[in-house]
Structure 1
């Protein structure tokens, strides 16, 4: 591609990536208002769960489809569906309608995110790829930083419907830009589609999400156990099908390549080690450091800002030198050290201390967050670029989902078990604690510090395993030569 058209393409993909990432974070602030106006507080969580579940389930399917018919077609269809679903969300008259529209949004968002990365892989050299993937990957930390605030402002001044409708003008502009900028990239004409793998994976993910959603409710404990069993059986069936399928949804045969295997492990560690704890940081800071809700947000902001800067910096450096292994080793080591430091920080330190420590964790994670995708793409055969890109994203998302549920359970049960009988964990809010006596505040701070310490330590161990994995990553340099484009195929895609 000519330089000007490549820049136009990156602007188009970045615009769409920001829309998709914002759609996940901007809604969180408006959830209470939406649930209240639609009269369905009990179903509020499914606005987020439905979106996340649909996005996760569709990742490997869309990756395979992008390899078959070409990423441009999947990208444009996903963008149109995203705009239609955004319109439908705003017009929803009840919670089931909103959840249904959010499911479609999640499906289309997966296509936008995944095909953006696949398109970059198809139009750039391996050496150029980290820089452009880092630019597109910046959409996620940017969305975390501005999404909740933007969602609150829109909800307060325009109404919650505009949280979804705001996507329309920007999405239409992005669509017109994409029609011009995204090149026609031929597919590889798969003749078989892995229906068995798709169905078993969908069952496994639905069961897993239901299990981790219900695990904290004593009334649904039995249903949660059954769901875990179903998820385990479905995942086992999925692996067996993938090993025998002629055109598997997830090309397991490629994991004999050490670069692909290690890159996938590193991606999973990001989901397990950082993405899972981010949602609980404000609560920890409010309780252990006795801050307001507004001030507690400074710690995750520092984390995400460190991630953003490091992600862009390493993408630029790797594109200049081609060397990537050192950033994976240094990044996992920094994150492990930061999380270990969080586990031993005494209560009562100034807030800037955990801010700096978590910023270090963010810098370490950002060092290889987008980089591992570029490395895996460069190691995978060109005909499996979409499938492997989907797999790397999938393990990160599944790792985050499972680890988030586990951490939530540990915190919930731990606080309930350690609180004195005079305090009720179900009604324990930061405001209540801040208005309580100094003795109660100190006691609650100690409880939260004691519960979070082993959580941070466990996540540090996960990153320490990442250091070992990064050391096993084969040394080398990304090539600055273009790979030959595939010949267009007219072979039909059949089940």
Structure 2
């Protein structure tokens, strides 16, 4: 397609960034209002499904949305997803019961997958591989910014306007973004109309839902038998998915992609990000509150430092890669920083000043941001334009799966470890930071040591994941991003 003017390209990036931010924000802004929502709707036991429903729906729909973008064109999928997202936000605000709210959140998650994927796909379609990293980095900044401002914004809105406005605030911003997108997002011709892989989509959906339910239930002793059944169903469905993909004329996730070493490395690194950092971020405040005896507000400083490092590095490497066309060095440096930082976190003794883990996790964030958005652009550049949506979905999908599964595993490990080590008289189910701070000094020191001992092997395991990522990053073929509009990598000898 013809190149866009500079003005229209900038308007397009602003539009995609705004919409991507809305989708990412809706994942983080709800966290601080969950208790209020559950109390108003009288369904505390179902509170977790407000988050799980959103995350699961967005993950399951990633390959489906990616393929639809290739079939009917990314503009149509993007605009439709935005309209559905606004409708779902309106419905969530009017929810009068928890099932209604969960249904609305599922719809939000489904549409959020379209916003996230199509933003990256549209940028890939209208820019050359050389230009793509800097624009992808700008759009990718939506996620870390949402992590930084979402919980605080959610708390302020809930306290002053009511929890309904956590969802309704999307409406005016989303309508403005929609009007801008109608003008800024160009029509992109889809590939030749092809058949949709229905069997592959169904098998993948059953496999992923069963897997998430299994890792969620396995921590509950009463549900372990059901969890084993769910694991079995997940494995059988995944085997069916692979069989369907091998037989389908137009598979949902073309397995031929992974015969390309560049794509194989990029998707593996994306998985490492989900496993190595995205999974632990949710537990950092708890670790800091218990191991460092801080308030909830102060405990947020460590994840803030992590995400801030990720944001700066993501933008910096995106612009550097666009300027030089080189990309191989950044994931090598990034995974090394991640492995080193998490190793230091595992070796930290009990009781160092809080600025120490802040600095260390800032370094882990810098390392992760160095290749977070870049590897998406590199993977897109290794396939033909007709498969842009599918490869974008695949790279994002493995990251989501890695984060979802590892988050559940870490939660189970921490819960089991703390319960096993707590002395008699302390109940893990009722052990809050407030209870610990009200206890005597000896008990506080004992709890801090327990949380340190439980989290140390978790950090060590994540450091191993980044070390594996370093080995994988070294296998990335040396190359240079092309200035041509058609996405093609200019391969160079490994010694270049």
**1:8 maps to what in 2?**
11
- For residues 23-67 of structure 1, give each alpha carbon's deviation from its aligned partner in whole angstroms, at most 9, with x where no partner exists: 000011111111110111111111111111110111000100000
**1:329 maps to what in 2?**
332
Aligned 8 A contact 2:30 2:151 in 1: yes
Structure 1 moving runs of 4+ over 3 Å: none
Aligned 8 A contact 1:419 1:444 in 2: yes
What CA distance in whole angstroms lies between the structure 2 residues aligned with 1:102 and 1:286?
Answer: 30
What CA distance in whole angstroms lies between the structure 1 residues aligned with 2:433 and 2:33?
Answer: 21
What CA distance in whole angstroms lies between the structure 1 residues aligned with 2:171 and 2:50?
Answer: 19
Alignment of 1:327-476 (within 5 A): 327-476=330-479
Task: Measure how far apart 1:214 and its partner are.
Answer: 1.6
What CA distance in whole angstroms lies between the structure 2 residues aligned with 1:367 and 1:118?
Answer: 20
What CA distance in whole angstroms lies between the structure 2 residues aligned with 1:108 and 1:79?
Answer: 7
- For residues 173-231 of structure 1, give each alpha carbon's deviation from its aligned partner in whole angstroms, at most 9, with x where no partner exists: 00000000000001113321101100001101111121122222222221111111111
What CA distance in whole angstroms lies between the structure 1 residues aligned with 2:34 and 2:192?
Answer: 43
**2:308 maps to what in 1?**
305
What CA distance in whole angstroms lies between the structure 2 residues aligned with 1:320 and 1:150?
Answer: 35
- Gapped regions of structure 2 (runs ≥ 5): 489-496
Aligned 8 A contact 1:133 1:370 in 2: yes
- Gapped regions of structure 1 (runs ≥ 5): 486-495
Alignment of 1:35-434 (within 5 A): 35-434=38-437
Task: Measure how far apart 1:424 and its partner are.
Answer: 1.1
What CA distance in whole angstroms lies between the structure 2 residues aligned with 1:348 and 1:98?
Answer: 42
Task: Measure how far apart 1:484 and its partner are.
Answer: 8.4
- TM-score, normalization: structure 1? 0.97
Aligned 8 A contact 2:382 2:487 in 1: no
- For residues 440-480 of structure 1, give each alpha carbon's deviation from its aligned partner in whole angstroms, at most 9, with x where no partner exists: 11111111111111110110000000001100000111011
- Between 1:432-441 and 1:363-372, the stretch displaced more is 432-441
What SS does structure 2 have at the residue aligned with 1:477?
Answer: strand
What CA distance in whole angstroms lies between the structure 2 residues aligned with 1:443 and 1:59?
Answer: 44
What SS does structure 2 have at the residue aligned with 1:264?
Answer: helix
Alignment of 1:475-490 (within 5 A): 475-483=478-486
What CA distance in whole angstroms lies between the structure 1 residues aligned with 2:43 and 2:35?
Answer: 10
What SS does structure 2 have at the residue aligned with 1:203?
Answer: helix
Task: Measure how far apart 1:98 and its partner are.
Answer: 0.7
- TM-score, normalization: structure 2? 0.97
What SS does structure 1 have at the residue aligned with 2:381?
Answer: helix
What CA distance in whole angstroms lies between the structure 1 residues aligned with 2:383 and 2:150?
Answer: 34
What CA distance in whole angstroms lies between the structure 1 residues aligned with 2:387 and 2:255?
Answer: 11
Aligned 8 A contact 1:69 1:189 in 2: no
What SS does structure 1 have at the residue aligned with 2:370?
Answer: helix
RMSD between superposed Cα atoms in Å: 1.0
Task: Measure how far apart 1:482 and its partner are.
Answer: 1.2
Task: Measure how far apart 1:313 and its partner are.
Answer: 0.3
Aligned 8 A contact 1:376 1:388 in 2: yes
Q: State how many pairs are aligned.
A: 485
What SS does structure 2 have at the residue aligned with 1:120?
Answer: helix
What CA distance in whole angstroms lies between the structure 1 residues aligned with 2:430 and 2:44?
Answer: 18
- For residues 50-92 of structure 1, give each alpha carbon's deviation from its aligned partner in whole angstroms, at most 9, with x where no partner exists: 1111101110001000001100000000000000000000111
- For residues 354-382 of structure 1, give each alpha carbon's deviation from its aligned partner in whole angstroms, at most 9, with x where no partner exists: 00000000000000000000000000121
What CA distance in whole angstroms lies between the structure 2 residues aligned with 1:312 and 1:388?
Answer: 22
**1:492 maps to what in 2?**
none
